[in-house]
Structure 1
Amino acid sequence: METQQLLWIVALPLLGAIAIGLVGQRFANLREAITLICGICLAWLVWSLLPEVINGAQPQAHLTTLLPGVEIGFRIEPLGMIFAALASLLWIVNSIYSIGYMRGNKEHHQTRFYVCFAVAIAGAMGVAMAENLLTLFVFYEVLTLSTYPLVSHKGDAKSVASARVYLGVLLATSMGLLLPAIIWTYSATGTLTFTTGGILTGAIAGPAVALLLALFVFGTGKAALMPVHRWLPSAMVAPTPVSALLHAVAVVKAGVFTITKIVIYIFGIDFLASSSAADWLVYAAIFTIITASFIALRQTNLKRLLAYSTIAQLSYVILATALLMPLSIMAAALHIVAHAFGKITLFFAAGSIYTASKKTELNQLHGIGRRMPWTMAAFTIGALSMIGIPPTAGFISKWYLLTGSFQAENYIAMAAIVVSTLLNAAYFLPIVYSAWFKAEVVPPVKDHREAPLAIVIALTFTATLTIIFFWINQPALALAAQLVGAN
């Protein structure tokens, strides 16, 4: 039964994509009903496995063997459970939001949008449940290819050019760096299976360890570690539901998830710690965190600011992983969740503002909180979470990251977290202040109130999740603790 369930988790979004394509534009209500039904069924399939995984089970399924020690197979371990549960839940919310956004903005090619979105979620599920590096690589590429039409959705010259940057960077890094790293791993070990404690001990040594790690890290371009980050700001030409998919639901989460999973199950925490091969990664992550935060501080466009904020926030996960401490590894897992809830809320709010008013620049947002109180209340909660202020989800993951840095006795990392937190406040709090307390730009760009109800419901729900996670986070903590063998 569990084997079939894992296969259904991957197959269901693909079947949904086929059904959506067959129904098409002529039956828009049915098309969107199929999207929501598939989302709900997928979440049920994934979340029903949560109690078993918390209790130590790791359901698995195998499709086929390609080479000795290399299969297309699935297994849900604790980190994958976190990612799959998160993505399946947020697909439902993003689908509700998308209905309001796509209709409210009278977007073209809505059927193609929903089809590609469903395929992308299937890719995310495959990445989350991959039993080995080959399976992960296949679904990682499915995720890249299925999101390309979403980034280029508008079809104008700027969107197409930006989408080519998106596709070019992600394919160049995965084919040019990640795939060679996978081949090297197989030639050294004879296996690609994710294994507790890693598979590389005794297989490679010396500078080769750091080199292989670099191939994996920079080959996983979706993690947006500088300098492999250019694709992410370019992708901001996409509709806001796509930006939410890229930043919160699937794409960037697949990147940092992949790096974290490779560190834990391919290299092994103890192996990397004893070889000091991950020391450089700590400082690469710190550089990205600080640099991206300063760039965000200079932005005048709301979505570009959020894009650079994402680049910085992703490197919190990479930093936490590279510190190789039990508390920091837990912080990496927790920040995947905390960032998803906060950042999807911020993008939902940005899209709500655009749908209602067509405003995209920061200097247009003065006084908008009085016109759109639900939207800006949600934005405020998301911003506080990015800063790490209680009672929001971001406080939980930053607390574990700070304590993990202290556990590692890495005071440079601790200082970087404090400085970046101040920078987060420096670019988010002025937006919140101007929205609530500054006089509205006169005359207003457009007479408006809140966006369509579906948009407001979705962003209110994710803002609520951002608060709830501060108080109710035991399942995520239990899964994160399993990654480091804690009780």
Structure 2
Amino acid sequence: MTPATLILLALVIPTVVAVLLPLFAGRPNVREAVTLIGAVALFAVVLMLLPVVLAGGRPELDVWTVVPGLKIAFSVEPLGMLFALIASGLWIANSVYSIGYMRAEKAHRQTLFYVCFAIALAGTMGVALAGNLFTLFLFYEVLTISTYPLVTHRGTEEARNAGRLYLLMLLGASTILLLPALGWTWVAAETLDFRPGGILGGVVSNTALGLMLGLYVFGTAKAAVMPLHFWLPAAMVAPTPVSALLHAVAVVKAGVFTILKVTVYTFGIETLAEAGTGDWLVYVAGITIVVASAIALRQDNLKRRLAYSTVSQLSYVVLGAALFTPLAIVGAAMHIAAHAVSKITLFFSAGSLHTGTHVDNISEMDGIGGKQPWTMAAFTVGALSMIGVPPTAGFLGKWFILMAAVAIGQWFAVGVIVISTMLNASYFLPIVYRAYRRTGEGRVTLSEAPWPMVLPLVVTAAITVLLFAWPDVPYRLAEMLSQSVAVGPPG
């Protein structure tokens, strides 16, 4: 099977799943089997692309030329390979978890839920494997539109309001800011292709580079850089598997992935470092990290605390991109992987607590560790990873970013990492303390949530530790990405 065929299959498989699912709306076992088979098949296809990329190959697939020089095309480079691996692998875990959650909650419109989930994964694959900005933009919007019904899935007034805010902020930012950035890039560089070293060096002024970077960063509102972050906590009204999709598998990862990819392959980090007009991004990312962490401290609702944690953690990736050094790029890419497995573990755990004990607030979690030992053990691993404690994956990305900041004397970034680490500990460790060291009285609870919910969170927690012990694949891909930054633009 050729690499081009594998790229096509990565896009087609979740699309076919979405088409087939309504045929089995009245047969839930078959419907869910189709979802699982599709998720496993997609991961297998992505895995078959991995050796090609690790060997230095860059598989390509051209689909359609819109106008000369502007086409829908796909190309697999190291960062896209990493994102595709994360999204396709976690789709399996999320599918198993969703089966347990949706059945335990007796949720309505389950077929629509799985259909939109599959379309969202197709959009995610399109973003990950996009060969140019135009293709990325198209699938970025597919991802936004397909996840809107998931955000509003409960059908309550609160859910509808959250959905309106979701569409307003994401579509509004991409239309008002991101689309003009693409147009400006097209006019200036006469191409939207992703190229090592970037395409904007020498074709626009330094001031223009800074302005364009701002359009891309704030136009990519999925990255939740403040002040365009409000949609994310509001979207927590959605079912927990949707929260996991938003925070770990697809949506927010598409945001920080886009910022990192544009930094490396559109601007070029050497171009930005020499221009000096993109340095403001360090301060924007740093403020987002610290302020979001401080807000998280005040949240009693567990999912909202996790939501603000996500806002903070995402900007570590933005901070890494903003340092404009190869080592920081490695850290940013590694943190995408670490955050994905850690945060999905935390949201899985929050859903397990809700289903098994009907507990949603941290103030109600006293002694819950003895009632749900697997869930809280996994939660603890995820929390330690978000703090950045070894031996968990969250340590690696933060360490590389910290070392990069020290190497260039960016002491503001160093201070942000140190302060935010203490804040992370301040809002995660009390949860663990409550669960294990305090006694809950008079609570009637199940021992654990259903096993299809518990198994995935245990697996993702284990992966969080394994990625620290054996980080070879994400590290090699991140290192290959960092090596491409020194290649200058053609001509």
- TM-score, normalized by the shorter chain, greater than 0.5: yes
Q: Which residue of 1 aligns with 2:5?
A: 4
Asked if residue 241 in structure 1 is aligned to residue 241 in structure 2, the reply is yes
Q: Which residue of 2 aligns with 1:329?
A: 329
Give the superposition deviation at 1:407.
Answer: 1.8
Distance (whole Å) between structure 2 residues aligned to residue 459 and residue 475 of structure 1? 22
Q: Percent identity?
A: 54
Residues 454-486 of structure 1 show CA distances to partners (whole Å, capped at 9, x for unaligned) of 001000000000000001111111111111218
Q: Which residue of 2 aligns with 1:429?
A: 429
Q: How do residues 11-410 of structure 1 correspond to structure 2 at under 5 angstroms? A: 11-24=12-25, 26-410=26-410
Give the superposition deviation at 1:68.
Answer: 2.0
Count of residue correspondences: 484
Distance (whole Å) between structure 2 residues aligned to residue 73 and residue 407 of structure 1? 38
Distance (whole Å) between structure 2 residues aligned to residue 407 and residue 231 of structure 1? 35
Give the superposition deviation at 1:216.
Answer: 0.5
Amino acid at match of 1:456: V
Amino acid at match of 1:241: P
Amino acid at match of 2:162: S
Distance (whole Å) between structure 1 residues aligned to residue 322 and residue 277 of structure 2? 9
Does the CA contact (< 8 Å) of 1:325 and 1:407 recur in 2? no
TM-score normalised according to structure 2 size: 0.98
Asked if residue 443 in structure 1 is aligned to residue 456 in structure 2, the reply is no
Amino acid at match of 1:185: T
Asked if residue 456 in structure 1 is aligned to residue 454 in structure 2, the reply is yes
Residues 235-279 of structure 1 show CA distances to partners (whole Å, capped at 9, x for unaligned) of 000000000000000000000000000000000111001001220
Residues 215-238 of structure 1 show CA distances to partners (whole Å, capped at 9, x for unaligned) of 000000000000010100010000
Distance (whole Å) between structure 1 residues aligned to residue 181 and residue 445 of structure 2? 55
Distance (whole Å) between structure 2 residues aligned to residue 2 and residue 54 of structure 1? 13
> Greater CA deviation, 379-388 or 395-404?
395-404
Distance (whole Å) between structure 2 residues aligned to residue 408 and residue 344 of structure 1? 33
Distance (whole Å) between structure 1 residues aligned to residue 391 and residue 201 of structure 2? 42
Amino acid at match of 1:184: W
Give the superposition deviation at 1:408.
Answer: 2.0
Q: Which residue of 2 aligns with 1:469?
A: 467
The SS at the match of 1:431 is helix
Residues 25-66 of structure 1 show CA distances to partners (whole Å, capped at 9, x for unaligned) of x10000000000000000000011111101110111000111
Residues 272-294 of structure 1 show CA distances to partners (whole Å, capped at 9, x for unaligned) of 01001220000000000000000
Does the CA contact (< 8 Å) of 2:94 and 2:456 recur in 1? yes
Give the superposition deviation at 1:19.
Answer: 0.5
Amino acid at match of 1:407: A
Distance (whole Å) between structure 2 residues aligned to residue 350 and residue 333 of structure 1? 26
The SS at the match of 1:66 is strand
Amino acid at match of 2:381: I
Amino acid at match of 2:266: I
Amino acid at match of 2:55: N
Distance (whole Å) between structure 2 residues aligned to residue 408 and residue 125 of structure 1? 35
Residues 394-414 of structure 1 show CA distances to partners (whole Å, capped at 9, x for unaligned) of 011111111111122101101
Does the CA contact (< 8 Å) of 2:243 and 2:347 recur in 1? yes
Distance (whole Å) between structure 2 residues aligned to residue 184 and residue 418 of structure 1? 37
Distance (whole Å) between structure 1 residues aligned to residue 336 and residue 300 of structure 2? 27
Give the superposition deviation at 1:67.
Answer: 1.8
Does the CA contact (< 8 Å) of 1:3 and 1:60 recur in 2? yes
Distance (whole Å) between structure 2 residues aligned to residue 307 and residue 385 of structure 1? 16
Amino acid at match of 1:443: G
Give the superposition deviation at 1:443.
Answer: 2.2
From 457, 480, 485, give the equivalent of 1:482.
480
Amino acid at match of 1:480: A
Does the CA contact (< 8 Å) of 1:9 and 1:45 recur in 2? yes
Give the superposition deviation at 1:201.
Answer: 1.2
Runs of 4 or more consecutive aligned structure 1 residues displaced over 4 Å after TM superposition: none
The SS at the match of 2:27 is helix
Distance (whole Å) between structure 2 residues aligned to residue 69 and residue 199 of structure 1? 14
Q: Which residue of 1 aligns with 2:489?
A: none
Distance (whole Å) between structure 2 residues aligned to residue 297 and residue 462 of structure 1? 25
Amino acid at match of 1:470: F
The SS at the match of 1:484 is helix
Distance (whole Å) between structure 1 residues aligned to residue 116 and residue 465 of structure 2? 31
Distance (whole Å) between structure 2 residues aligned to residue 397 and residue 152 of structure 1? 33
Does the CA contact (< 8 Å) of 1:289 and 1:420 recur in 2? yes
Give the superposition deviation at 1:208.
Answer: 1.0
The SS at the match of 2:300 is coil
Distance (whole Å) between structure 2 residues aligned to residue 68 and residue 78 of structure 1? 27
TM-score normalised according to structure 1 size: 0.98
Give the superposition deviation at 1:3.
Answer: 1.2
Distance (whole Å) between structure 2 residues aligned to residue 18 and residue 58 of structure 1? 30
Stretches of structure 1 that go unaligned for 5 or more consecutive residues are: none
Distance (whole Å) between structure 2 residues aligned to residue 305 and residue 12 of structure 1? 35
Q: What value does the CA root-mean-square deviation take over the aligned residues?
A: 0.9
Distance (whole Å) between structure 2 residues aligned to residue 29 and residue 277 of structure 1? 56
